[in-house]
Structures are given as structure tokens and as C-alpha cells.
Chains A and B, each alone.
Chain A
């Protein structure tokens, strides 16, 4: 299938200027090399902590910002550097839903004029007149069409978000970029809006890029999910693989950090991986793998070589030198071989690909249920002392297949 949107090497650096001459002294590397596609009809979820560049990414693909580098193709046309007038015809096809339902609606315009603005700007005369179409849209998003002449302040947060959605859908877009569309809403209202977005997608065949920090919401709405960290995609996979067997350590840490609404799991501390410290500044991101400063698996190679985003399993792309594996038992062998290969031939750019053959024939036998259990057990002591603990609990498990000296070398390397 042809992707609707294809992004290659996308970058956005915001310059930092200082001094009298406003010379550029540095740059905030908000987005630093993204590659992904969005296929028609799917929902691509984008998650990450604040400051990871997910919103900037949303603004780049809607071309509200101009990329510093890289390419954005929409339906095969390169739109990365189109001007205002060049973009105008495309604006119909790409729309955005914003986070703040208060800030994104002009308080001095009636709902009618807000939702009809896209028609005016695009010079579109819908069948049956603008007013009728606007009222249809209001009905579509679950608002009373009679409220055409009301002002935004007369609506609650959830209703305002619906107005924003109606406006985004006015021109029947192909791609809707929703930037944290439900994070400002209360739980019960959030569910209403999530369901609405779901229904509209089904009804109108929309494609969503759904940017959010809430991993539970993203799991609910998305078909595929991209996890971002400091301006890069660290893992991109379909929902099931990502949530059930994340391969990037960051993804795993992120998932494990979400409190599970189940009191019976309370105190099962071992499941949680606590990351130390905070996200480094995007002005001077760490060298090599950007996550190495907080990663419990980091080795020398992580500090120097940036891991490429590789498809390690069908449909699961990961940028990591030491990917996690759901099949717990087999990780050590795979990982050691990676390290060995890399330390032996650091100059070879192909090195990170080495694990593939080793990993491919992995016995898929210890299927997910068991495997997750075993990983959980293995994690138990981890939360306290991530660095060393990671090795020790796994070592006995892998002991049969992996030679112990190798494991020790590994630990020493850290």
C-alpha cells in the first residue's frame, strides 16, 4: 500500500541566538532525524515524554513549521519546503486538532463562524450552503446544531474539543494530526472524545497521527505506535508487539512506569523499571545513543555509536544496540554476540545488524504469557540497582545457553 505520508530524515533545529549580532550559538534539536510512514486509514500513535519533540513533529508534518532537513512526502508529493500558497491546496487534506480547547478557539467568534472558517478560506461552497453543512458537522461531533450562534465560552471543555474536531473535519481531510487531543479533559469526557474520534475514523475513513503522552490512551486508539526520545524515534511497532514485547529499553521503562489501575498489583514493585534522573537537554543531546545516560544496559558502544532504526522483527523497528526481548531466556546470547561483534569491529557500520541472524532463529516457543512472567521475575531486583542487577537475574536463566565468562565481560564493560 502506498503510504499517505512518508517522512525521511526529518529534522527541526531551533536556533539559539545570542549577543548583539544575534549570532547563532547553538540549536535546540527538537526533532533530529525521523523516518516513518503513515498509511491510509490507520492511526499512528506518537508517544514520549515532554520535550521529546512529538509536538514539533506534528507541526512539521502539517507544515506549520518548516523543517531544517529531511523530506516530507504527502501522497507522493514533496511538501517539505512548500510556501504558504503552495501549501494552501494541501491544507484541505491535512488538518490538526489541538490540545487546549480554550486556546484554540477564538473567543470572539461564534461556533458557526469558527467551523465555517475553513470553507471561507478555501473558497469551498458545500452542497446546501455553508450553514447547513456546519450544522451537519456539529451534529456529527455530538453537539446541538442549534448552538450555531453561541460563543466558545458557553461550552464546557469537552464540547469545545468537539468544536475543534468539527472544524478540523469540515473540509473532509485525509490526514488529521491530533496533538494531545484529550489530555486536557476529565476522564469521563476523555472517553467520550476518544470514542468520537474512533467513530469518525470509521465513518469518514480518516487517517490519524495521534500525539499523546498518555500511554493508555495511545494503546486504545492506535494501530501502530512510534516512541520518541529526544527528537528521535527509538521504537516503531504495531500496537500488540509494542505493548506486549517492547524491544527498546526506553519503551519498556516507559510502559512499566505507568501506574496500573489494579490494586491487586500494588506493591509488585519488581515490574517497574525506575529511570534515573531527567531527560537530557535537546540543546546538547548525549552522543551515540541518546538514551545511554539513563539506560541500565548501556555499554561503551552506546556512548559512541548511534544505533540505527532497524526492523528487528516483522513490523517492529528498534534503534538499540542491546534490544530487549520478550523471549527473556534468549536475550543474553543475542546481546553478547552484538557486543562482541561491535567491540571487535567498531568501524563497521553494519555491526548493529549482526544480531539479526542470531535472533531470527530464536525459539518462539516460550510464548508471550510465560515469557512475560519470566521477564517480570527477572526484573524483580532490578529497580534498586539497575546497572548490575540486570545482568545477575538474567544470567542464571540463560546460563545453559550462554557461557558465563561472556556475561562477566559484559558486566565489567559497564
Chain B
């Protein structure tokens, strides 16, 4: 990430300061992304003004609870939300997604389709439903390869076996002909990673890649992902609710709440100097395996908001234990914007920064 993101995260409605002029600097540049779904009950604002940047070779961890818009964001980047197909408006998407100097949202869907799988690929949470049960695992990888490369079947098979071997599947040539149901959960996830990597994508989005797996298998997969990133040098977006997983993999962390980014910054600052009450809540809710903890957990009270009626001001306001801290005349209906609170570290909270730092160091951190 570069310094030009100082104010990019801000701005609902107002143009982004650093401007549309220099999108090529960063590899992935998402600006004011909004994804809304019209439903019978109202407009579901799954993602409501999200901006972030990602450099090649770096990993961004997107953290948030269910319904915070993490997965919708990833599908949005991949261009997998159907828009206006068959005369039906399914998702309303606005904003900009720049990948390698190209804007994806305004691009021809056919163009995006060609990029998908080749320049950007995705690893899904549940490999069993992400793979076709009637085709052998090998053939699915071959298919992904041959769509983007003009090669004969033999070459493609060689490539697929090579990839299966790389992701640690024993006897890859033999396993090539197996069907997804013949693989164990961890192996399926490996096979899916192989499928995603077969075209050496520059951007890899992993949506809860290890949530369905046991810890021992999760450790294998995380290790594999780390090694592969080093080897392939791709940019990785990892979406998860597990703070342990992001701490393990991510360079930068983006915390989402109610469809918006509430905090974003380098992993270390987000963990050690978090500047948003929701991030405090997440850290306080988390039982720790690495230390003896006698204190009670400090949960966030209440429930996540409905995305139809997101509170008009700060989405976290109804659950925020510091909602009553005086904020110098700012009303509850005013939306907090992302402001710079540290090096490359942004947070969206109305509380004065000194106050937040004080609360974190004096009240929250000692209890964790």
C-alpha cells in the first residue's frame, strides 16, 4: 500500500481525494464500493462504501462477523454478482474496482470473464459445493487451465498433476481421476487451491478457506497458502471471522461492520493499537489459547445490525459501550469517516483519538 490512501477510505458521496488519476500505482484498488440488493423488505446494503488497496505479494485480511459484507465484497471483486441479467436487477453495484490498472465494474463482462480464473481466482469455504460432483477433480483443474490456455489435453493434465503435487496431494497422478467425494475435506480444499492457482493468478481471494476444517488440517492449509504466496507472489485477500487466521497470514487488516470498514491498517497496529470500539469488542470476545486467562470475556453487547436498517450514523452506535462519550457536538446520525490514526492506520470513530488511545491502553488492553 502507498501513502496515497490517506483519505481514500473516506467519502461517501464526495469524490475521493487522491482521485481517479492514479489508480495504476496499486495493484488492487477498491474505491467506495457499494453493493446493494433490492428485496421485498427494502434495500439490503451489504457493502456500503468500502475502499481499500492491496499491493502485489501482500495479504489483506478482511475480518467481520456474519452479515458484515465480507463475502459480498469478495464476490463483487470477482464480478460474480449478477447485475441486470434477464431484465432483473439483482445487485446494485457502484464504485470502482481497479485491478492492475483496469477498472472492472465498468468493463465489458466478457472481458472480466476472461480475467476471472486467470488474473484473479477464488478459493471458497466449502469445496464440496464449489466443485462439480460429476467430474473428476483432475478434469476440473484441466478445464480451468484449458479455458485460459490454448494447450492440448495432455499438457493440461501434466500441469494439473504438477499442481496437485505442489499443494501436497499424495500420488497426484492417481488422485487425478478421483471424484470430489473421494477426497477428504482437507484434500478437497487443497485441490481447490490447485484449481485456483493453475493459471498463476495475480490476485487470489480466499473466502473463509479454513472455516470448515479441523485445526490440524487448517494449519496445513494456512502453511500451504503462505508458501504458495511466497512462490507465486500473488496478492491475497483472505476473508475470515477468525482473528487467529488473519494474525497468521495478513500484512494488513480491514475490519468490517455493517457493510462498512470501521478500521483498517497494518496487522500489528490493528492488534496492538486498535482505535475502534468494535475492534476492541472482537479482541475482548476472543478466548485466548496462548495465555492463562482468569478474567471473563468482554463481549460486545447486543446483536449485529440488520443490513436493511443500518443505523444512520455509526452502524456500531447501538452496541457501542462508548456511545455516550462526548464527541464535541457530533450527533448520532452523523456518519464517522475513516481518518488516519497512525501510520497507514485508519479508523472510523467520532471519539477524539486521544480519548480512544486512553480507553484502549487504560481500560481494554489490561483486561485482554
Contact = CB atoms under 8 A, between A and B. Distances in A.
Given A49-B214, A266-B247, A189 B219 contact: no
Interface string A257-272: 1111111111001001
B244 A258 contact: yes
B172 interface: no
Most chain-B Cβ atoms within 10 A of its Cβ — which of A188, A256, A265? A188
Interface string A277-303: 111000000000000000000000000
A391 to B, nearest CB: 22
A237 to B, nearest CB: 14
Contacts of A257: 215-216, 218-219
A340 interface: no
Given A198-B296, A260-B244, A192 B287 contact: no
A187 interface: yes
A229 to B, nearest CB: 10
A195 B298 CA distance: 9
B297 interface: yes
A387 B229 CA distance: 27
B215 A49 contact: yes
Q: In the complex, which range does the number of interface residues on chain B fall in?
A: 35 or more
Nearest to A217: B287
A14 interface: no
A188 B66 CA distance: 11
B65 A188 contact: yes
B228 interface: no
Contact of A262 (B217, B218, B242, B290): B290
A272 B287 contact: no
A244 B282 CA distance: 25
Most chain-B Cβ atoms within 10 A of its Cβ — which of A190, A194, A214, A261? A261
Given A257-B218, A258-B289, A186 B298 contact: no
Contacts of A274: 219-220, 223
A278 B284 CA distance: 33
A254 B292 contact: no
A407 B246 CA distance: 40
A154 to B, nearest CB: 12
Contacts of B303: 156, 158-159, 189
A283 B287 CA distance: 35
B287 A278 contact: no
A147 interface: no
A158 B65 CA distance: 13
B200 to A, nearest CB: 24
Nearest to B186: A278
Contacts of A266: 247-249, 267
B286 interface: yes
Contacts of B287: 191, 194, 214, 216-217, 219-221
A187 B299 CA distance: 8
A253 interface: yes
Interface string B287-307: 111101100111111011000
B243 interface: yes
Given A261-B286, A262-B290, A266-B247, A186 B214 contact: no
Given A187-B65, A253-B216, A275-B216, A263 B241 contact: no
Contacts of A258: 215, 219, 244, 289
24 contacts: A49-B214, A49-B215, A50-B214, A186-B66, A187-B241, A187-B243, A187-B282, A188-B299, A194-B297, A195-B297, A195-B299, A219-B287, A239-B292, A253-B216, A258-B215, A259-B244, A260-B247, A260-B290, A263-B247, A263-B271, A264-B272, A275-B220, A278-B184, A278-B185
What are the 4 closest A-B residue pairs judged by CB atoms, nearest first? A259-B244, A191-B299, A191-B285, A220-B287
